[in-house]
Amino acid sequence: MSPNPADLARLHGQAFLHPRPWSEAEFRALLARADTLTIAAPEGFAIGRVTLDEAELLTIAVAPDARRKGLGRSLLGQFLATAATRGARTVFLEVDSLNTPARALYQAMGFTQVGLRRNYYREGPEPSDALVLSRPLP
């Protein structure tokens, strides 16, 4: 059973102010794609795509009340394992350079920086860079 786009949009809205939260319509369009991979729990989700031997984590969101309890790590771990079963050998993601908790999670999960997009995020109080991270999958 596929996650409800309205639930994903609600959770994303709780988790993010900058960059802007994604809309229900955006989640609906993403879920309609055959290459989309979604790992969902009542208080969070990870969503991305798998194309040939590459996966891309598009976003991971955890409700504020559920943070710092291991849910983000669990969702990311499930995303990585499922992407590998779909044939992905490498996973990529972008993270705001100012998002210290996310950066710590990705580092703990074996991601390393492979690129930088200067002033990529412009919707917050000041522009910030996107770090492009990657890690191999077993």
Residue-range domain boundaries for the chain: 5-136
Query: What confidence score (pLDDT) does residue 1 get?
Result: 53
Q: Which of 56, 106, 123, 126 is catalytic?
A: 106
DSSP code per residue over 99-134: -HHHHHHHHHTT-EEEEEEEEEE-SSSS-EEEEEEE
Percent of the chain with pLDDT over 90: 86
Q: Domain spanning 5-136: which CATH class is it, in words?
A: alpha beta
Q: Which of 94, 120, 121, 126 is catalytic?
A: 94
Residues 6+ apart with CB under 8 A from 114: 92, 132, 133, 134
- Mark whether 54 is an active-site residue: no
> Are the beta carbons of 73 and 108 closer than 8 angstroms?
yes
pLDDT digits (tens, 9 = 90+) for 49-75: 999 999 999 999 999 999 989 999 999
- Mark whether 121 is an active-site residue: no
**Is the confidence at residue 32, as pLDDT, over 70?**
yes
Q: Give this prediction's pTM.
A: 0.92
pLDDT digits (tens, 9 = 90+) for 100-127: 999 999 999 999 999 999 999 887 678 8
